Structure 1
Amino acid sequence: MKIPLIDLKKQYETIKSDADKNVLEILSSANYIMGENLKQFEKEICEYLGARNSISVGNGTDALVIALKALGIGQGDEVITSPFTFFATAESISAVGAKPVFVDVRVDTFNIDPNKIEEKITSKTKAIMPVHIFGQPADMDEIMDIAKKYGLYVIEDACQAIGAEYKGKKVGTIGDIACFSFFPTKNLGCAGDGGMIVTNNDDLATICKALRTHGSGADGRKAYNLLNNIDENMEENNSIDNMVYNPLKYYNYLIGYNSRLDEIQAAILRVKLKELDRWNDLRREHAKFYNENLKDTEFITSFEEKHVKHVYHMYILQSERRADVVSYLKDKGIATGIYYPVPLHLQKVYKGLGYKLRDMPNAEYLSERTFAIPVYPELSKEQRKYIVDVLKSFK
């Protein structure tokens, strides 16, 4: 039996009719950029999360960069974050000229350990960027309390966690601003790259909207006025054609980016958003099956806090013999993934920050032992039983 780590073809088959219909409508309309699907998708995301503002962008990394820039974080500033995550988390901090400051993680949840944050705060610290890794929410109450105590921003890296909940509240609505990724393999993924910024702060939303389109147009002007304390009434003009000719885009107020989610991706995401909760529930069902059936084996199964809803972007096992078990699973037709083989503080690009081996013992421990097995929604009961049986037969 051959089982991929994720099966996007099988997922596409479940939404093919609606997705194809929507894409063909957009192609025939020739309205490809900043159109009605984008507006509706942003509205629907706000309704789903319970947020005031959502700003769609080109990808999750851009979302992080623009969020940092909107908060005024840049050269000479420091942002505290996790070393056990995808590179984009720290890369975005470096991209705006700031310095990532790494704090070790909890060995059970893989999330940043709030008990170790305060010792890393300096006069240069401007924000904390917790990562809801693999779909499990970080310890947001503790993090928000620390941020409030020291006057810091909180930027939620929720790129792997859309739909996850912390004490009944959707992640992405707890901090000052949050970022999501719609990379195809995410729980909510498009047919290419895509991302989103979410915030309950209207001023931050305005600045993010300006930054995603070169700091130009009406949003650029509004953002410029906000940043310079200029009080000016501006009338909305909804008749402007963003695709063919928008005269306002030639008036620039901020140095921004070209980072827009296109109409086709927005249309596909609108179809998938309707299925997200069902898909996340299926992921949770698979995770429960793994936990129950692998609890008496040599593998350490995934842990879920009692007060959170984990959405299992990845289902992670731990093994002292990772290389051997991964090879064994491959021979049996089961795909795996290693997340993450090198913690960020030990990446070559961050050699200049001065971190050394054993500075982050938990992150380093996990990097040597963790691996992912298939948990995608379309996984059949027969397939997941086969995975469990193969793991149990590993000697």
Structure 2
Amino acid sequence: MLHILYLVHDLAEPAVRRRVLMLQAGGSRVTLAGFRRGDNPLAAVEGVTPLDLGATRDGKFAQRLKAVGHAAFSLAATLRGVSRPDVIVARNLEMLALANRASTLFGGDVPIVYECLDIHRLLLRGDAVGKTLRHAERRLGRKARLLITSSPAFIENYFLPYGQIDTPVLLLENKVLTLGQKMHRPARPAEPPQPGMPWKIGWFGALRCRRSLELLAQFSRRMEGRFEIVLRGRPAYTEFADFDSFVAAEPFMDFHGPYRNPEDLADIYGQVHFSWAIDFFEAGLNSSWLLPNRLYEGCRHGAVPIAMRDVETGRLLARHAMGALLSEPSADALVSLIGGISADAYRGLSRSVTAEDPKNWICDEDDCRALVARLAALAGGPRQAAPIQVAA
């Protein structure tokens, strides 16, 4: 059985749990190690007890660098008793540094995979900070045997023009993990509201975009209750002056907390008509290039995605002739787009979503096995490595 050491920057991130489940479903054994982000609990993954590398704080880059340095110094002790992995997967740049250290501790020849699903704005700066970070990424990436990323725009706009990684690339989109027959049930989109009841827009996942929050609040007030905004997930409190107070003061907006992914997706998306697939957090950069989890989640379960026309998400939807596409980020534009939508028009938009091949939005057991097979090939195939002790 292939043994994968998975190094992550935030053990509580739902996408980490999803990736571990994917690797397990593909037939591998996973050792998970990473940082705690503030007071968030460790990732709850069946059969995996994470190795704790320490605590980091959201938005505190210098503190994160210090934590990585401390973790690198103590990594031998952290990994003592862990059997030699066949592959090390590093999620994000700081973990790539630790992956290089871990590979050295295990003999220096363990293949490294760099999993980069976001391009941090610091990497794109033209000053000394940006140049230093890009140099570090190139240097640390020399030992990487594979780059995993989630959007072709990341490759086209960053990795190729900046010459960051000279290694094969695996495009692994943020699709919905569907394990077991129950998860393959057909999408059941919400029915149009009864007279006097509101349309609902769901904004789910990592809630980090202040501009989206303000735009949705303005729109819902303009519509005077004909639309309600439903928020679920993990707010990035560092990006908002006071997220909880802001939402509490909005008459047509509610926050319902975190949810389980993928277990709760059908239920929560089945309660909304539209899925907010817009992110201005790093407009023109990462936010314009990414294909977010919520795009796949909403489409898989029949919610009509709302996206900006001129970003990667909008271009993908346009190719499929589906979704509601905004030409400009304003409440006026949103009112014009969907403010007067009829039940028949909504059903047409919904049918364009549900008519798509579900494989465009889901990752199943075959995909999990294909991923693990690709990783196994880096190690020359899985091998039964005897447990070894890493010297302190």
- Is the structural similarity TM-score above 0.5? no
More strand by share: 2
| Higher RCO, 1 vs 2 (CA within 8 Å, ≥6 residues apart) | 1
